Amino acid sequence: MNKRQVVNSWISTGTFQDFIQQIFSLAEAKQSAYVCFANVHMVMESYQDKAFNQILNEADIATPDGKPVSVYMRLFEGIKQERAAGMDVLPALLAEANQKGAAVYFYGSTEDVLAKIQQKIAEEYPAVRLAGTYSPPFRTLSPEEDEEIVQMINESQPDLVFVALGCPKQEKWMAAHKGRVQAVMLGVGQAFLTFTGMEKRLPKWARDYSLEWAYRLWLEPKRLWKRYLVYNSWFLWLVFARLLRKMVGLDKKLSPPAPTHLNPLKSE
C-alpha cells in the first residue's frame, strides 16, 4: 500500500475496507508480515527512537489509528484519510474471517481476557477457527522459550495473529518474529479489552472529535499522563512547526525509504 509521511514515520493510505482486504491478501499469500496501528503515541515513540522508527517504517501496513494522524495526512498530503484503529479493525477482520473460515490466534494479555475472547468468538463468529491463545509471562523469555512459542503458533496454522503486548513492545515483538511466525501479525494493543467489553469506548461522535485520549487519561491517569499530555503536546508543536515551514515554502515532501529488511532487535 502507498505510504505518506507523518512526522518521520511512514503511514499507509487507503480506505478502511482497503486495509481489511490488503491484510487478508497478505494472509492468503501465506506471508510472514506485520501490521502496526499508528496513533500519536506510536508516532512520537518513532520520532525519538531510531530503532523503533525503522520497525514502524518497515511494517507491511501501518494504518492511521488516531484521528490526529489522519488530520496530519490531510493537512500536509492533501488526502482525506480514514482512521483505521486497531479497536475497529479487530472485529472487522473477525467478521471477514467468519466469512472465509480463516484461522486466528491471540497472543498477549491475561488468561481471563483470552477466555472471554474465546467465548465471544464461539458465540458471534462460529465459522472462525480459533487456532489458539497464549498469555506470555511478564518477563523476558529465554531463546528456548521463544522458539517453543514460535513453533506452537506455527503448528496451529493461523492466518492472523493478534498481538496485545502494548506499544512499543508488541511492535518490537512482531518485527523480531517476521520471517519466523508464518502468519500476518497485528499489534492491536487495548483492542482485546474493548472487544470483550471489559473496557468501554466513547460513542463514535466523541471519537470523531478526538476525545478518546481524554477518556482513557481519565480512566488511567497515572499510567497514561505522559503519553497523552507530553506526547500529544509535542506532536502538536511539530505540526505547528511544519505548518510554518509550509507557509514560507520550506516544507519538502520525501519519498518512503527503501526497506532494509534488517532486524535491529532481538525478540523480547
Is 161 within 8 Å of 153 (Cβ atoms)? yes
pLDDT level of residue 102 (50, 70, 90 thresholds):
very high
Is the pLDDT confidence value at 214 over 70?
no
DSSP 160-202: EEEEES-TTHHHHHHHHHBTTB-SEEEE-TTHHHHHHTSS---
Residue 43 per-residue DSSP state: H
Is 43 within 8 Å of 235 (Cβ atoms)? yes
| Nearest partner of 41 among 15, 88, 6, judged by Cα | 6
pLDDT at 199: 81
Strands (E), the chain: 3-6, 9-12, 33-38, 61-64, 103-108, 129-134, 160-164, 184-187
Is the pLDDT confidence value at 267 over 50?
no
Is 8 within 8 Å of 46 (Cβ atoms)? yes
In this structure, what C-alpha cell is assigned to residue 253? 515532501
Overall average pLDDT of the 239-248 stretch: 86
Overall average pLDDT of the 52-73 stretch: 95
In this structure, what C-alpha cell is assigned to residue 238? 511539530
Is the pLDDT confidence value at 265 over 50?
no
pLDDT at 249: 78
**Residue written as cell 513453533?**
151
How far is residue 199 CA from its own chain's centroid?
18
Q: How many residues does the chain have?
A: 268
Is the pLDDT confidence value at 84 over 50?
yes
Model pLDDT for residues 28-60, shown as the tens digit of each residue: 999 999 999 999 999 999 999 999 999 999 999
Is the pLDDT confidence value at 171 over 70?
yes
